[in-house]
Amino acid sequence: MHTIHTLGGNTMTALSLQQQLAESIYIALGTAFEAGQLGQLTQLSPRPSIVVEKPKVSEHGDYATPVAMSLAKPCRLAPLTIAEAIASHLTGDKIAVEVAKPGFINLRLGHRFVAAELQRILELKGDYGRTVPEQPERILLEFVSANPTGPLHLGHGRWAAIGSSLERILQFAGYTVDSEFYINDAGNQMQLLGLSLKQRYLQALGEAVELPDGSYKGSYLKELAEQLAAAQGDSLRGEPVEWFSAYAEGRLLAQQKITLQQFRTDFDRWYSERSLHQAGAIEAALADLEARGMLYRATCSRQEQNGEITGRSKKAQAPHAFDEEDGGGEALFFKAADFGDEMDRVVKRADGNTTYLAADIAYHWDKYQRGYGRLINIWGADHHGYVPRMKAVAQALGHPADSLEILIGQMVRLFKTNPETGQKEEMRMSKRRGELVSIDDLIEEVGVDAGRWFLLSQSLNTTVNFDLDLAQSEKFDNPVFYVQYNHARCCSILRKAPERGMPIPERFEFLRPDGSAWLETPQERALALRLLAAPDEYRFAAIDRAPQRLTQFAYDLASDVSQFYEHCPILPPLAEDLQPALRYARLGLVVATRQVLATTLTLLGIEPRESM
RNA sequence: GGGCACGUAGCUCAGCGGAUAGAGCGUUCGCCUCCGGAGCGAAAGGUCGUGGGUUCGAUCCCCGCCGUGCCCGCCA
């Protein structure tokens, strides 16, 4: 029987604190139920959801549950009565329980409990905070997935930071996760890339050639072309466009890989779209859909036929503009509308070429074939309109709609103070002119740590307003600096302790012989409680797919460290009047704190620096 | 026209249906010369865009409206 008495110090359980508390409350609930204290409530299954949360006000306890209020109706009892009944079965010497006004049950962690949990951190070290999911899953996380047509820009940087952190966070929460980059290396854009490079190459040879319309105008292609001209002279003049495509792709993809690696974003697989074509996966996936009755041939979609398409953009209002080119023949449609998309989508054009969607169908078909039960994609908001048709694909292939999870992230805007006006100005990025701020630029300007931090610290559905000045700041107004500084500060204390006559012991003791706590100041307690909340923070970051919870947590933790440091001296001479046992208990708290800060930063892909 | 997201303190943003809505910056007022200096403490500052609804309880869920951003191809 798992009672409140056995809480804490149990290194075998992978339960977070809130899970442990919820478990205890559930058991107390069962006891109350069996004792007939829950009124009209007829059964305890399905198990009622037990919310355990950290109250905003400390008077309401370290943790609290409103479970009695949600049970009031089925029990037909006053919430207070229910709360009293549950609370009466929660008594123990490790946690103080009290019932408050409307029907809250407030829990206060006792010294022994806190001390035991601190010991657990010291024992588990970097594994503290690992949890086990309710449902184990094999997840494929796909992100960035750019065209190999140029340097990765700031937007890609956001997906890289979030994807790579999320991968670590999900793994720490017990999921099996693989990460993948889908290389969009097929289609006419590669043709255009080759053409652009060839023209640049000819320009570099001194020829007056115009770049074709819509070509890639970024300076990186010019540099590539000049390198080619310098190394090969005019010997490549006769090479076909395809040669230039392949060359450009090879160079640009290699550069993207280097950039991402520098940005601490590693992929388990780089998956080439072209390889799907070569392996016949597109035909295989379409054959699968065909066999399921999900395809049909027509000159236009069923919805257009029936006049069901209203409210479209100008482009979409003229769906047959292509007829002139392709002779108005029949295309192959996928019945996306059967699964919630607004209309059916073309997978094979009238001219016989497959569409981008067809390749994406094949890619996701292949992901499922490889045995992943959950697919998570991170896309920019500019692709959100694509979500319904991909969800339709998942369902048409026989998978639940929610097995494909598409996280839509808003865009990144960059701000910098103009030295002339002193005003913050947006650095406008223009894709047309090839002027995008690249991840390489970002790394050069602010470094990987600050770059990642600011791209991670906002919720996915908020636009990031990236403040370059703030990210460069080496003062406490810069949160990443503040967090790293406080980690380094812990390291410094641990480094100096032996020099000041306090060698680091094997074990720390947090309780006095009489069972009371050495750590009893508000700062010590706040810090310790923050550490105990870490596993829940990691867990929620995984469940909510929300790395920004951890930047927030890291900051709050650093703030607790800072206050602890100000008020609780440890090393002589500053602390020489204090009892050694107290100083050692504080030192133990520093060891645990450093560990949790380091774990949190590692999950974010930010370096826990030992010195600044 | 339609879709998605957003609207919370002067600014940038957090906020798992719970009690008195938080943080940083900025502003005001006090401290501090300290194990690692770039600080610490406090105060002021809010009709959570708006109008309804669901709920014992709504910043959070649902609907309408207003405002902002992104998107709506037999492109990729």
pLDDT in tens, A132-182: 998 899 999 999 999 999 999 999 999 999 999 999 999 999 999 999 999
For the CA of A313 and the C1' of B1, the distance in angstroms is 8
Whole-number Å distance between alpha carbons of A33 and A608:
48
A64 touches strand B (CB under 7 A): yes
A431 touches strand B (CB under 7 A): no
* Tokens 């790395």 -> residue: A547
At A469, the pLDDT band (50, 70, 90 cuts) reads confident
Number of H helices, E strands in chain A: 21, 14
Q: Where in chain A is the domain with CATH 1.10.730.10?
A: 479-604
Whole-number Å distance between alpha carbons of A341 and A393:
10
The pLDDT of residue A11 is above 50: no
At A1, the pLDDT band (50, 70, 90 cuts) reads very low
Whether the CB-CB separation of A131 and A173 falls below 8 Å is answered with yes
* Residues 489-528 on chain A lying near strand B, CB distance under 7 A: 489, 491-493, 495-496
The pLDDT of residue A551 is above 70: yes
- Counting Cα atoms < 13 Å in the Cβ hemisphere of A601 gives 28
* Percentage of chain A lying above the pLDDT 70 cut: 93
Q: Where in chain A is the domain with CATH 3.30.1360.70?
A: 4-109
A188 touches strand B (CB under 7 A): yes
pLDDT tens string A559-584: 999 889 888 889 888 888 889 999 99
pLDDT tens string A216-270: 888 899 999 999 999 999 999 999 999 999 999 999 999 999 999 999 999 999 9
Task: Find out if CATH 3.30.2270.10 is the number for domain A4-109.
Answer: no
The predicted structure's pLDDT at residue A91 = 73
For residues A323 and A90, the model is more confident at: A90
For the CA of A59 and the C1' of B20, the distance in angstroms is 11
Query: What residues contact A90, with CB distance under 8 A and at least 6 apart?
Result: A4, A24, A25, A28, A97, A105, A107
Sheet holding A138-142, edge to edge: A269-272, A176-183, A138-142, A374-380, A404-409
A373 touches strand B (CB under 7 A): no
Classify each residue of A208-236 as buried b or exposed e, where b means 16 or more C-beta atoms within 10 Å of its C-beta. Answer: eeeeeeebbbbebbbebbeebbeeeeeeb
Tell me how many degrees the CA angle A295-A296-A298 measures, rounded to the nearest 5. 145
Mean of per-residue pLDDT scores for chain A: 89
Instruction: Name the H helices within A292-415.
Output: 302-305, 314-317, 323-326, 356-369, 387-396
Could you please report the per-residue DSSP string of A22-47? HHHHHHHHHHHHHTT-STT-----SP
For the CA of A188 and the C1' of B9, the distance in angstroms is 51
- From the alpha carbon of A500, which nucleotide's C1' atom is closest? B35
What are the tokens at A445? 């300007």
The predicted structure's pLDDT at residue A182 = 97
The predicted structure's pLDDT at residue A314 = 55
Coil vs helix vs strand at A242: helix
The CATH architecture assigned to A479-604 reads Orthogonal Bundle (1.10)
A334 bridge partner residues? A295, A345
pLDDT tens string A347-373: 999 989 999 999 999 999 999 999 999
What are the tokens at A352? 């016989």
The predicted structure's pLDDT at residue A472 = 87
For strand B, which nucleotides have at least one atom less than 7 Å from a protein CB? Answer: 1-6, 12-26, 34-41, 56-57, 69-76
For the CA of A57 and the C1' of B44, the distance in angstroms is 21
The predicted structure's pLDDT at residue A166 = 97
The predicted structure's pLDDT at residue A4 = 39
Q: In which element (H, E) is residue A82 found?
A: helix A79-88
Q: What is the pTM of this model?
A: 0.94
A307: left (phi > 0), else alpha (psi -120 to 50), else beta? left
